[in-house]
Amino acid sequence: MSTPAKARDRSAGISYQELLDSDLVPPSDVLRLENPYQSTLTSVSVERYRSRAFHELEMQRLWPRVWQMACREEEIPEVGDYALYEIGRFSIIVVRTRDGIRAHHNVCRHRGRRLCDFDGHAASFICPFHGFSWHIDGSLRSVTSEWDFPQIDKNDFDLTPLLCDTWGGWVFVNMDVNAKPLADFLGDLPAHFSVWEPEKRYIEAHVGKVMKCNWKLCQEAFMEAFHVINTHPQLLAAIGDENSQYDAWGNFSRAITPNGTPSPHIRWNPSEQEMFESVTMRPLDGPPSPEVPQGMSARALLGAGARENLKKIVGEDHPALSDAEVQDSIYYTLFPNFHPWGGFNRIVYRFRPWQDRHDRSLMECYYLSPYAGERPPPAKLHLLGEDEPWTDAPELGLLAKVFTQDTFNLPNVQLGLEAAQFDEVVFARYQETKLRHFHDLLSQWVAE
């Protein structure tokens, strides 16, 4: 009997690092980093996606203890501005005070009504039920019929605080006031992003949609390029899906999928012109595409075009205007649910349970865009219900159509798993690196 062929470590296509070697404008050093993930995890229990008990474990052991992105600083620019962040049964007020941004549990300490129902601006938080009130820093302001509450120590009746810190223009909160600092949790992530300056971007679009699947199942569809071959086949002429590079460090992982290069899966050799038109998605009834000049690659031409547009916004000398950083898909995941994209791609995702349900999730897509001059006001959340299509959010442009393809699968994965008669789902060793890294961390937090 012959021994089975040893599985290859990666696809036979050109590696991402080899592709970078031939780019005309070389990338920032951060794209040259490689740290392949080593782990024995190759499968996880189906129960992680379908069981109420596992959801409850997450609600007890993960969300109340982990750092999570609550909002952008630009959404609460003035003292008194506040945003609500909901995670499962928890609701958090994130408010700008004179002494910086603070976070409190959104629960009145009298008989427990939610204090705030919507994002807004307040001089103080006044409970709509009986009128107890708190200053925006969380300290008690007034007790209605104070004579009737002799047991209340006014110096010890603050709103329940959370830890709150910022990085890159994002506000993070942690319900565990004894947690290690955010900087420790982020590790090298800010160093990876330093050249891309996420703090200098603004929310150009913010769309959320209720998805008919578990939050992990949803985010995992955005953590690999492995599904492109069947889910987004229209992209194959000019996307290096199987050439993607996957790495992990500490609490974050990264995938990089090159554009302007053909998929190793296809059996024909697209011309540079065909690759160019695939990426620019020229409508069949639209004007003809520009010709890719003789001797030039589609990737170089696409890079040059994107670079010229960006220069007008970020300046001629910005150090990150490489061919790779203006067109590749560089998608990071910070455990457990935050997905900022690197380079000049505008995408940031966040995924979480919808309300307190294990079989529904809220997927959000932000476009964080660079700007010249004064910071434009941030877009407000455009929330789509579970039966409203992504294409109802024209601010997402062509990406809405790509999401529609993903959304076609996801409820059917949930339905499949609900009925599965086997115990585990299996992960590809390399292309599903980010899923394996995520689930290893989740195991540590939830310790089933």
| Numbers of helices and strands, H then E, in the chain | 11, 20
CB nearer Fe ion, residue 85 or residue 332:
332
**Measured CA distances, 44 to 49, 334, 439 (Å):** 10, 20, 8
Least Å from the CB of residue 232 to Fe ion: 6
CB nearer ligand FES, residue 127 or residue 203:
127
Partner touching 375 among Fe ion, ligand FES, none, CB below 5 to 8 Å by kind: none
The residues facing 125 across adjacent strands are 134
**Site for ligand FES (CB under 6 A): which residue of 32, 65, 89, 111?**
111
Partner touching 127 among Fe ion, ligand FES, none, CB below 5 to 8 Å by kind: ligand FES
Least Å from the CB of residue 222 to Fe ion: 6
Interface with ligand FES, residue 93, by CB under 6 A: no
CB nearer ligand FES, residue 11 or residue 144:
144
CB nearer Fe ion, residue 84 or residue 225:
225
Residues 6+ apart with CB under 8 A from 154: 140, 143
CB nearer ligand FES, residue 127 or residue 365:
127
Interface with Fe ion, residue 137, by CB under 5 A: no
CB nearer ligand FES, residue 84 or residue 235:
84
CA angle centred on 425, ends 441 and 11, rounded to 5°: 85
- Which of 223, 222, 226 lies closest to 11, judged by CA? 226
CB nearer Fe ion, residue 109 or residue 265:
265
Partner touching 406 among ligand FES, Fe ion, none, CB below 5 to 8 Å by kind: Fe ion
Strand blocks (E) in 297-360 = 329-334, 338-340, 347-353
Partner touching 130 among ligand FES, Fe ion, none, CB below 5 to 8 Å by kind: ligand FES
Interface with ligand FES, residue 132, by CB under 6 A: yes
**Measured CA distances, 186 to 59, 108, 190, 330, 444 (Å):** 22, 32, 7, 18, 17
Phi/psi of residue 394, nearest 5 degrees: -60, -15
Which span sits near Fe ion by CB under 5 A: 155-163, 233-241, 369-377, 406-414?
A: 406-414
CB nearer Fe ion, residue 53 or residue 398:
398
Interface with ligand FES, residue 141, by CB under 6 A: no
Interface with ligand FES, residue 154, by CB under 6 A: no
Interface with ligand FES, residue 90, by CB under 6 A: no
Least Å from the CB of residue 121 to ligand FES: 20
Least Å from the CB of residue 127 to ligand FES: 3
Least Å from the CB of residue 323 to Fe ion: 23
Least Å from the CB of residue 86 to ligand FES: 19
| Residue found under tokens 């649910």 | 337
What residue type is assigned to position 98 of the chain?
A: R
- 92 within 8 A of 106, measured Cβ to Cβ: yes
For ligand FES (CB under 6 A), the number of binding residues is 10
Interface with ligand FES, residue 380, by CB under 6 A: no
**Site for Fe ion (CB under 5 A): which residue of 81, 274, 356, 406?**
406
Rounded to whole angstroms, the Cα distance separating 391 from 419 reads: 30
**Measured CA distances, 221 to 31, 191, 243 (Å):** 23, 26, 17
Q: Is the peptide bond before 336 cis (omega within 30 degrees of 0)?
A: yes
**Site for ligand FES (CB under 6 A): which residue of 61, 110, 232, 401?**
110
Phi/psi of residue 84, nearest 5 degrees: -95, 140
Phi/psi of residue 202, nearest 5 degrees: -125, 160
Structure tokens at 275: 């690759």
What residues from 230 to 289 belong to the interface with ligand FES (CB under 6 A)?
none
**Site for ligand FES (CB under 6 A): which residue of 89, 121, 130, 375?**
130
Residue 283 region by backbone torsions, left for phi larger than 0, else alpha for psi between -120 and 50, else beta? beta
- Which of 338, 331, 329 lies closest to 441, judged by CA? 338
Interface with ligand FES, residue 157, by CB under 6 A: no
- 250 within 8 A of 191, measured Cβ to Cβ: no
Residues at the contact surface with ligand FES, assessed by CB under 6 A: 108, 110-113, 127, 129-132
Residues at the contact surface with Fe ion, assessed by CB under 5 A: 406
